[in-house]
Structure 1
Amino acid sequence: MKIWVKRATSAACAAVACAVVVSSCSLTGTSNTGAAAAIDAFATALSRQDAGGAAQFTTAPGQAGESLTTTLKEMSAQRIDVDIEKPVEYSDGTATFALTTKWNWDKGRVYEANSEGTARKLSSGWKVTWDPAVLHPGLGAGGHLREIRTDATPAPSVRSWSGKVFMYLQPVNEIVIDPAQTRDLAATTRALAGVIAPIAPLITPAVIGEKLAETPGKPVIAVTLRDPDMQVLAGDPGRVPGVSVNRTDKLVMADRRLSSPLEDGLTNYWQAIRDATAGWQVEMVNPGLRPRRLAGEQGPPGPDVLSTVDQGVQLTLGDAAVEVGQPATILTLDAQSGAILGMAQNTYAVERGIEIDRAYPVGSTLNPVFDEVGRIAGPQPEKAETLLDRLGLGVQFTVPGASVPTPGQPGIATIGYRPGQTNMSMTNMGAFGVALARAAAGQPSSVAPFVLKNVPTKVAGGELGGLDPALVGPILKAMTTTAATGDASDLTRAPGLKALVGTNGPEGPGWFVGVQGGQVVVIYTEGPKSGTAALQVAQKYFTIK
């Protein structure tokens, strides 16, 4: 904070009064008492962003405190510099001064306001005459300043593999239930569930109750609906006690039939672009008037996000994932490039929080791989680790647009070449399938899965690279056998299929990794007979793709 009081060499002014003349005395050069002390104290508290403290040095502490609190909160400045200039005290018990308030934010953003104020000598001492205009010219009673984020238009969209719009920004309606605003929460949840039933029948009173239980006493979003959805409801949700409708914008699927675990990762990447290209604006807000722009900057809109998702494949995956009544997640990749074509899961998997880069037990699924690695590496653990890394099984992938950072859950494969005790993520299994598909096509090298064009995946914990034909040959043979006469032999409509199937015991989880028709399919299921469930999902996929 800087409080500058310009000082001169003159001592004091003689107070000479007559009927029409009031003499003035510059406060510069005097001790910091009287009017100067009150003005200084007000400016000092303002620079500390102490609304209550500043208000105490005004003639109307209540009104000033409310106005200052709102402005300081809405401006949300990192630092405020307050400069006092031209302070003059008059013999009639008043004073005037000029105030320069500089609001500072990150990235060098600054807004400077130049205003004027007055002070009066009351029985309690000198006070700054409260007027919101002391903060900024034109600011009236009940008004405030605010700093807001601005975004360039049009907003970027997320494009699919073919270039079509896959996700785009659209107005939505958040249906919010606030326990503090209703006397009968159970009746409110029942009423709300009835209102939204025509469009969201799965959002039952029990589901709403579970959401409320996660954050007791706090408002929760029961469901988010698009504008057309609001037209088919069984009533106005805003009329339900304790329920409000919050209008906002959200990145949503262009084809509302689609749903994917990739939405969060793609939205995070899209949001990063919006954040990087965001602008800012300072506004004056007075009651009954349109906000007035005072300053700000806005750059051009960010580029569209180019994804590798195939909308047709994504729709097929969604239909396949709901084939079983237990957690099931299915991921499909291009067998040559490693591009992720789509990912889907059923509601059971959503509730379980299954993620693309979290490691899960593979059980017996990779036994043929471990057998061959052991045969080639012998008693050389480091060589075994290198072979597994090259297959995409011993490394950790961070896939921009797919991976969602989760504290305490790094998603790294806990691989130690221990058959039956190994965990893998779906990205590990996908990279493994792509490596084998490439080797079968005469390209014996592994690549990292990715979902954003021209945005590389981070690989940690090892290196991908060339594959030893002596290793991949027997593994491909074992996969061919599994599809022809083994556990995957009952699958139909999948010519040329190579697959591995396995479980981690009677309670799962179960895995399916298949290479067929230029695609790699990875399926992860949980619960009893999860290996059979994985095969059911696979069969549904091959039947409808």
Structure 2
Amino acid sequence: MVSRTGRALLAVITALAMVLAMASCSSGDDSDASRAVKDFADAVSRQDTQAAADLTTSPSQAAESLGVTFAGMHPKDVSVDTGRLVEYSDGSASFTLKTTWKWAGDRTFETKTSGSARQLSSGWKVQWDPGLLYTGLTADGRLQEIRTDATPAPTVRTAAGKPLMQMEPVNEITIDPAATKDLEKSVRALVAAVAPVAPMVTAKAINDKLVASQGQPVVAVTLRDADMQQLDSDPSRIAGVNVNKSGMLVMSDRRLSTPLSSGLTNYWNAIRDATAGWQVQLVAPGAPPQQLAGHQGGAGPDVQTTVDPNEQLTLGDAVVEVAQPATMMTVDASTGAIRAMAQNDAAAARNIEAGVAYPVGTTLNPVFDAVDAAGKGSDQKSAEPVLHSLGLGLTFTVPGMSLPSGTTPKVSSAAYHPTDYTASMLNMAALGVALERSGDNDPAQPYVIKGSKTKVTGGEMGKLDDAVVRQIRASMETTAKTGDASDLTKAPGLRALVGTNGPQGPGWFVGSQGGEVIVIYCEGEKSGTAALQVAQKYFTTR
């Protein structure tokens, strides 16, 4: 009689024998099962969703899971290696996969999973399971790689160190033409909903965006949380309208508006990009994202600017004195620090930028006269070094300011009184600073980020010619006392250059007063007079 222990041992031996009967040796690379698994791995490596799905037992489910994961992971490269494959006598096989996801910057994420394959009437197929991508992944889940940003976000600060621009939660209100049966009605309802805080958002403005987007959703308006609380109705209740929460760099003082904001935002974004981290997440409905891998460094430094918000408000009031395009900049005469820059709506619509070169007309005639009187205006070769020392004929790339295209100033072949000379507002600012710092052989270029260095191309700001400087200053004093700028009041000690490029402009005002350089650029009819109007408003309100 067999003992109880013997019977148990016999059962184990029998079960083991059955397993061994089912299993075969590890499959070679040339077996049908091995080729099917390798083909699946190769298709995943190529990120070929349909090809990989067609090699599984459930192509539609596999295509959906693979598609959302490829989209969520957006890898630069995927490599899938197959491990030991074992075939069984019942027409199945088991295998392992090692999947390596790669992104720029040497970021990688590796998973090790196991799966099975089955021999069907159509051949060997990989048994579909989302766990092939990551152990524990379900049909309604996905993997995703996201950017992470350190907190707190950098603050853009004023010259006095106070916040000028900072990260705030905002609400992007979008409208999707495909999500409403009556787009015109939705647009009208949205305009009415945001009217209490955004009266400039009109049906025409939204429709123009929709036409440009060719049927894609557009952001109709972005509102701060405080503005959202002022609305009488919830925009998200309108058909086709969604409200998306996000973060944005905004002016700390909403009264401020400056063309400098776009360049400062770009500079801020560059800091965020340089300090950004990354994270791979397992995402499933009803559960918070689970971090699987990633890295996040420390927060970036604050952006220290030269901007004076009170000066910015004053310039904002000055440029709206005229209806035609007007842009104004003030610069510290001793350092080149840009204190403020403002433009009215007409100038903004024209995309007037500080780095773009515009015709100067008669504005710089006193400069050309001085260069000629010094015996250095006979030709372009002899005149250019003198003009360069004054900041003219150069291109300034200022960190924290937008970088427009086509900004290179030009001069005709006749350097003396050239008829097609152009200059940017930055050129004019550099000229004003150079004239104020004539005794200083270390030139100061315009800048807006403290500690940054402005790049100068097209020549060098070398040593100034004292005789040239004295004559230009004398001409500017005459212009302020008895010339075109003599009607300006409340500007003691003013020196100025005033001129136009003909009846249709543009017109310029370049002045120095009270340790400050003032540059005003206007376009349109009687633009020289308009520039003087803006200057007078500035002097009487600062």
RMSD between aligned alpha carbons? Answer: 1.8
Matched, 1:351 2:342: no
Q: CA deviation at 1:235?
A: 2.1
SS of 1:512's equivalent?
strand
Structure 1 residues 323 and 213: CA distance shift in structure 2, 3 A: farther
Tell me how far apart the structure 1 counterparts of residues 103 and 69 of structure 2 sit (CA, whole Å). Answer: 15
Matched, 1:410 2:410: no
Structure 1 counterpart of 2:532, from 527, 530, 535: 535
Tell me how far apart the structure 2 counterparts of residues 105 and 27 of structure 1 sit (CA, whole Å). Answer: 34
Residue type of the partner of 1:197? Answer: A
Matched, 1:48 2:60: no
Tell me how far apart the structure 2 counterparts of residues 207 and 513 of structure 1 sit (CA, whole Å). Answer: 36
Given that 1:435 and 1:445 are in contact with CA atoms closer than 8 Å, whether structure 2 keeps it comes out as no
Tell me how far apart the structure 1 counterparts of residues 453 and 56 of structure 2 sit (CA, whole Å). Answer: 59
Residue type of the partner of 1:157? Answer: T
Q: CA deviation at 1:17?
A: 11
Q: Which residue of 2 aligns with 1:84?
A: 82
Structure 1 residues 526 and 306: CA distance shift in structure 2, 3 A: same
Q: Which residue of 2 aligns with 1:3?
A: none
Structure 2 counterpart of 1:237, from 235, 238, 241: 235
Matched, 1:268 2:266: yes
Structure 1 residues 264 and 317: CA distance shift in structure 2, 3 A: same
Q: CA deviation at 1:163?
A: 0.7
The 5 A counterparts of 1:32-431 are: 32-376=30-374, 377-402=376-401, 404-406=402-404, 409-416=405-412, 417=415, 419-431=418-430
Given that 1:326 and 1:348 are in contact with CA atoms closer than 8 Å, whether structure 2 keeps it comes out as yes
The Cα offsets for residues 363-390 of structure 1, whole Å up to 9 and x where unpaired, read as: 1111111122233214232120111111
Matched, 1:494 2:528: no
Given that 2:385 and 2:462 are in contact with CA atoms closer than 8 Å, whether structure 1 keeps it comes out as no
Given that 2:357 and 2:423 are in contact with CA atoms closer than 8 Å, whether structure 1 keeps it comes out as yes
Tell me how far apart the structure 2 counterparts of residues 285 and 202 of structure 1 sit (CA, whole Å). Answer: 40
Q: Which residue of 1 aligns with 2:433?
A: 434
Q: CA deviation at 1:491?
A: 1.1
Tell me how far apart the structure 1 counterparts of residues 213 and 486 of structure 2 sit (CA, whole Å). Answer: 48
Tell me how far apart the structure 2 counterparts of residues 38 and 325 of structure 1 sit (CA, whole Å). Answer: 73
Structure 2 counterpart of 1:504, from 501, 506, 519: 501
The 5 A counterparts of 1:410-489 are: 410-416=406-412, 417=415, 419-439=418-438, 442-443=439-440, 446-489=443-486
Tell me how far apart the structure 2 counterparts of residues 181 and 64 of structure 1 sit (CA, whole Å). Answer: 28
Q: CA deviation at 1:140?
A: 0.7
The 5 A counterparts of 1:4-43 are: 22-28=21-27, 30-43=28-41
Structure 1 residues 378 and 286: CA distance shift in structure 2, 3 A: closer
SS of 1:71's equivalent?
helix
Given that 2:494 and 2:513 are in contact with CA atoms closer than 8 Å, whether structure 1 keeps it comes out as yes
Instruction: Number of aligned residue pairs: give it.
Output: 524
Tell me how far apart the structure 1 counterparts of residues 188 and 532 of structure 2 sit (CA, whole Å). Answer: 39
Paired-residue identity, %: 56
Runs of 5+ consecutive residues of structure 2 not aligned to the other structure: 1-14
SS of 1:313's equivalent?
helix
Matched, 1:513 2:522: no
Structure 1 stretch displaced more, 71-80 or 371-380? 371-380
Matched, 1:544 2:541: yes
Residue type of the partner of 2:400? Answer: G
**TM-score for both structures, normalised by structure 2:** 0.93
The Cα offsets for residues 328-365 of structure 1, whole Å up to 9 and x where unpaired, read as: 11111101100111111111111111111111111111
Residue type of the partner of 1:259? Answer: S
Q: CA deviation at 1:445?
A: 5.4
Residue type of the partner of 2:389? Answer: R
Structure 1 residues 394 and 91: CA distance shift in structure 2, 3 A: same
Structure 1 residues 528 and 186: CA distance shift in structure 2, 3 A: farther
SS of 2:114's equivalent?
strand
The Cα offsets for residues 33-92 of structure 1, whole Å up to 9 and x where unpaired, read as: 322121111101001111111101111100100110111111111111111112111111
**TM-score for both structures, normalised by structure 1:** 0.93
